[in-house]
Structure 1
Amino acid sequence: MSSVTDFLLNRASEPRLEAPAPDAATLDRAFACASRAPDHALLRPWRYLVIEGDGLKALGELLAAGYSDMRGKTDEKKLEIIRNKAQRSPMIIVGIASPKKHHKVPEVEQILSAGAGMGFLGLALQDAGYGVMWRSGELSHYPMVHKGLGLVEGESVTGFLYTGTVSSTKPAVPRPALAEFVARWPA
């Protein structure tokens, strides 16, 4: 198998990240890789926001406000936990699915393309020596969070890609046996 296959077989999410984050040239190359995601009709149904520095604090505040808006809860301890989510790495890249109306390409294909782009982006950053952790969760679906991030109607968050330098590695995650998720059809 090729070095790409070996790389994929050793890929892992890294939750412990610190500075430095990827530099501009590394980001440009990683976004160029993301743009190679399968994209029926070349609609480019994705975009990205790079958040770092003071923007991380602002993102934490936005996430906490979105939580309060949706849940009606103002438990300060819970809100502080949510605010701190944005401080887990020196950079967060927000992936946004931005489907276009098209007579041949359904919205679901475009959202899958945006997801593939996030995956390619993460792989490119890892290949450049950085750690990544792709997170989503309920906060990524809150209307106030969408509005605060500048999403327009029809757009959605494909995830928050935390990135930076790995501060400590975690144990390998056991992978399922292929027979658990692969079958031949017809049987």
Structure 2
Amino acid sequence: MQNDIKLIDFLRDRHSTPVAQIKEPGPTQEELDEILTFAVRVPDHGKIAPWRLVVYRGDLRQKLGEAFLKLALEKDPEMTETARQAELNRFTRAPLVVGVVSTAAPHPKIPEWEQVLSAGALAFNLVLAAQAHGYVANWRTEWIAYDDAALDVLGVKPGEKVAGFVHIGSSDFPTPDRPRPELSQVVTYAGEV
């Protein structure tokens, strides 16, 4: 019964910490392995694992930022210094970033849409698993998830799509809750007038 109360409190208070407020430390390798193990426990019709995870950490994050800046400058050579720094810091804002990559493809029995939904469930489960381990997390996409050249730099293969990049770390920032939808605006009961 005590665990149920904790889970209810966890779900009631769950929120995403802004990426700019995420800092060291990040999870140890042992914690990360456990977080990732929990994250992949998602609905997966047919048990085909239509997704994969890519962990970006260490010095690679800065190298990726340099690549993102180069690509962004090709599109907008007049970028401000603030925008340039944002590209350089895109993956260094948190101790680690986990890419959730959807590998959804035509299948004789499993609708592709269900495969895509499974990748989305994995991304959110990753956020929850990180938070359950005492870390903060934020699920983002941003332009790099939709740019072919950036996807190539990130190791995303042709035909794959990024469901999100989950930034994981620590924070002492008191994140205020954001407005949530009123149930009356988003819930209907079938058969009732």
TM-score over 0.5 for the pair = yes
Report the counterpart of residue 77 of structure 2 in structure 1.
74
Counterparts of 2:158 and 2:116, CA distance in 1: 14
Q: Partner of 2:31 in structure 1?
A: 26
CA RMSD of aligned residues (A): 1.7
Q: Measure the CA separation in 1 of the matches of 2:157 and 2:131.
A: 30
Write the mapping of 1:1-187 to structure 2, written as runs, cut at 5 A.
Answer: 2=4, 3-15=6-18, 16-69=21-74, 72-76=75-79, 77=81, 78-187=83-192
Kept in 2: contact 1:66–1:142 (CA 8 A):
no
TM-score normalised over the length of structure 2: 0.88
Cα deviations across residues 119-152 of structure 1 (Å, max 9, x unaligned)? 1111011010000011112221100111111222
Q: Do the aligned residues in 2 keep the contact of 1:67 with 1:139 (CA within 8 Å)?
A: no
CA shift for structure 1 position 90: 1.3
Distance 2:34 2:171 in 1: 20
Greater shift in the superposed pair: 122-131 or 48-57? 48-57
Residue identity in the other structure for 1:62: A
Q: Deviations over 1:145-180 (max 9, x none)?
A: 111112222101111111101131222223222111
| Residue aligned with 1:13, SS | coil
Give the Cα separation in 1 of the matches to 2:66 and 2:23.
20
- C-alpha distance in structure 1 between counterparts of 2:66 and 2:78, whole Å: 14
Q: TM-score, normalised by structure 1?
A: 0.91
Task: Output the CA distance in 1 between the equivalents of 2:117 and 2:73.
Answer: 30
| Alignment partners' CA distance in 1, 2:57 and 2:163 | 18
Contact 2:94 2:168 in 1 (8 A): yes
* Gaps in structure 2 of 5+ consecutive residues: none
Give distance in 2, aligned partners of 1:125 and 1:177.
Answer: 27
State how far apart, in whole Å, the 2-side matches of 1:19 and 1:56 are.
14
1:1-51, Cα deviation, whole Å (9 max, x unpaired) = 933233111111012111110111111111111211100101101111111
Deviation, structure 1 residue 85: 2.1
Identify which range, 78-87 or 49-58, moves more after superposition: 78-87
- Which whole-Å CA distance do the structure 1 matches of 2:169 and 2:69 have between them? 23
Contact 1:66 1:139 in 2 (8 A): no
The answer as to whether partners of 2:144 and 2:151 remain within 8 angstroms in 1 is: no
SS at match of 1:40: coil
3-state SS in 2 of match to 1:41: coil
| Corresponding residue SS for 2:166 | strand
